[in-house]
Structure 1
Amino acid sequence: MGNGVATGYRLVGACLLAFAAGPLLIGCAPGPVDGTIQSAPSVVTFAGPTMGTRYSVKAVTPDAAERLEELQHEVDARLAEINRRMSTYDPESELSRFNQSESDDWFEVSPETAKVVAYALRISQDTDGRFDPTVGPVVNLWGFGPDGRRTEPPTDEQVQAALARIGYQSIEVRLDPPAIKKSRPDVYLDLSAIAKGYGVDAVSDLLAELGATASMVEIGGEVVCRGVKPDGQPWRIGVEKPDENGSTLQTVLELRDRSIATSGDYRNFFEEDGRRFSHTIDPATGRPVQHKLATVSVLAPSCMRADALATALLVMGPDEGYNWANENSVAALLIERTPEGFRERRTPAWDSLSEGDN
């Protein structure tokens, strides 16, 4: 969750750990900027900055050593392209220009942007607005967007003024010809809670087009695993316990042809008078959620879906989120704070998928 530098998005998801030949931490600590070749000659590994966080790639491909520079160049170019279209930190991006426009006419965008907006609106409808790509004004007001950080909460009047601009129903999208429109001039569209997941999907698809027979792609804690490692084993992904003081694993999954995204409240927040205000904003109230659900992980066929649903479930809270995920056959792991420690709840779909990949 569902944004941090002038050309990207802040890292707002909880961290995941990924393991290859040996344990390798990605998404939670800086990785190498320059590419490296692992001991297995058919695996190429490289990483770099993107979307206000970092990406990490492991690709199984013939002639790995010779193709390192080519693959990293192509991945960097693809991620830059997505940023130029969907970043709210780049004032010249398609999304920023749409937000700056006061016209209610159709605004031409790339097919890619239209596709992501359409999917965001679909998730908004499915979750009854718990996921809302127009929540940006409130996110920015609380100091978690391009406007910069803050150390104290906004006033009730400021929250109500920003909340009046929220509502996914104010956005329309068409795919052919691709365009988006707004019904009021002050609507602000923000895809930060879905764009990282889409970016992971896009890079995974790109690597397949470039001849990779398997890969693991991660951006800021969102992961796509395709195929298996050269030894025939699935990729191992660790879900971190929601504790800002360390990197303890909650569980480890073995995944193939699967995506996982995690949203949590313990990495991006500020405190005042002992009260925590996280970046997870409830679109219905315009305020950070105050329930005890610390983190949500979702397994799904696409990382775009996993990313958006992890955000929506975190907004819903421990009981509503679990019930909605269960009723809609979503594979979700919810970790809640209790006086006795962390409480873990897995939907039946989570147990079915995670066990099936092991």
Structure 2
Amino acid sequence: MSKTSTDAIAADAPRRHVLNGTTMGTRYSAIFYGPDRVDPALPAALFAAVDAVDRQMSNWKSQSDLSRLNHVPVGEWVEVPPEMFEVLKTALHIGKLSGGAFDIGVGDAVSAWGFGPGGRQANDAAGSPISNQRPDTGEILELDAAASRVRKLAPLTLDLCGIAKGFGVDEMARCLDRFGITSYLVGIDGEMRARGEKPGREPWSVAVERPDRQNRDILGVMTLEDGAIATSGDYRHFAEVNGETVSHTIDPSEGRPVTNPVASVTVLARTCMEADALATALMVLGEKKGVAFALSRQLDVLFVLRKDGKLSEIGLGRFGGA
């Protein structure tokens, strides 16, 4: 399930610990500094934190709370765990904030293009009428906070892949907080969150990957302290459709993969859930609208564009721009 390794920094200094395991079809990791002996309950608690997110919000698990919500009729109230309620609430907020660029109601289009659990071939999706039947983001769900319940307002399949992983990272951070850990870097895949500093007042460093579909390489390194970072891109999850390479990121207004020049977007935010969703929204908005949105919200964002086989960057805020 998980494993622990410990390396001494110095006899009188906090020790470096590493915990890792599998979740959501990928791996999670936690690097932190603390006493020689950590609470023996911590590894199981950390796994339980990410596993709960997977069991609640996975489209790939037929018994998940999300799958249960997707299968009930429109208008029927469904009680959901408080963690999932928080994610749904944040998803709708960022959806409205971005003018619908972030939309959790794209599950049918995700599956139609071959990126969902249904196994449908992507080239069967050409000419799909999904895009013409999309309601506004604020019209897909009604939330009842007092009872922690939701109901669908339209016959859509919800997909939380653009936000659940980030929330899982935040849950790992909260887990370490509960155990009194004040210096850590946690992550699931490329989504990361940090607290404090390493010994010697050294900040945590996170590599930003170059959006290359053939090779893994580092574009740059970002320091992270008491914040989160997430990247959305077209270079890890993609498909070939009629000789064209298409991204897994769906443009809700079109019901098809995005076609703009943005190869990846990296966002710094207070929480990883927010960074995750915003990165997806900015991928959809594209070069011009995405930059304008990021500037209007004073976001720290790195856009990497791919044009004529060459990469270029637009960095905002802490990434070196306006």
> Match for residue 179 of structure 1?
149
Where do residues 1-358 of structure 1 align in structure 2 (5 Å cutoff)?
A: 34-40=3-9, 42-64=15-37, 66-67=38-39, 69-148=40-119, 150=121, 152-156=123-127, 159-161=128-130, 164=133, 167-168=136-137, 169-184=139-154, 186-339=155-308, 341-348=310-317, 350-351=319-320
> Match for residue 27 of structure 1?
none
Residue type at the aligned position of 2:140: S
Question: Per-residue deviation at 1:148?
Answer: 2.3
**CA 1:150–1:103: 2 relative to 1, 3 Å:** closer
Q: Deviations over 1:107-166 (max 9, x none)?
A: 11122111110110000000010000111110011111111263525231xx21475266
Residue type at the aligned position of 1:298: V
What is the distance in 1 between the residues matched to 2:202 and 2:82?
36
User: What is the root-mean-square deviation of aligned Cα atoms in Å?
Assistant: 2.0
Residue type at the aligned position of 1:48: G
Question: Per-residue deviation at 1:80?
Answer: 1.5
Identity %: 38
What is the distance in 1 between the residues matched to 2:70 and 2:120?
21
What is the distance in 2 between the residues matched to 1:197 and 1:330?
17
Q: Would you say how many aligned residue pairs link Structure 1 and Structure 2?
A: 317
Using the size of structure 1 for normalisation, the TM-score is: 0.83
Q: Retained in 2: the 8 A contact 1:134–1:190?
A: yes
What is the distance in 2 between the residues matched to 1:339 and 1:89?
36
Question: Per-residue deviation at 1:273?
Answer: 4.5
SS in 2 for 1:231: coil
What is the distance in 2 between the residues matched to 1:116 and 1:151?
28
Q: Deviations over 1:339-358 (max 9, x none)?
A: 372110011354389xxxxx
SS in 2 for 1:37: strand
Q: Which runs of 5+ in 2 are unaligned?
A: none
The one of the two structures with greater contact order (alpha-carbon pairs below 8 A, sep at least 6) is 1
What is the distance in 2 between the residues matched to 1:77 and 1:317?
36
Which one is further off, 249-258 or 126-135? Answer: 249-258
What is the distance in 2 between the residues matched to 1:196 and 1:83?
9
Residue type at the aligned position of 2:260: H
Q: Deviations over 1:239-275 (max 9, x none)?
A: 0111122222211111110100000001111124541
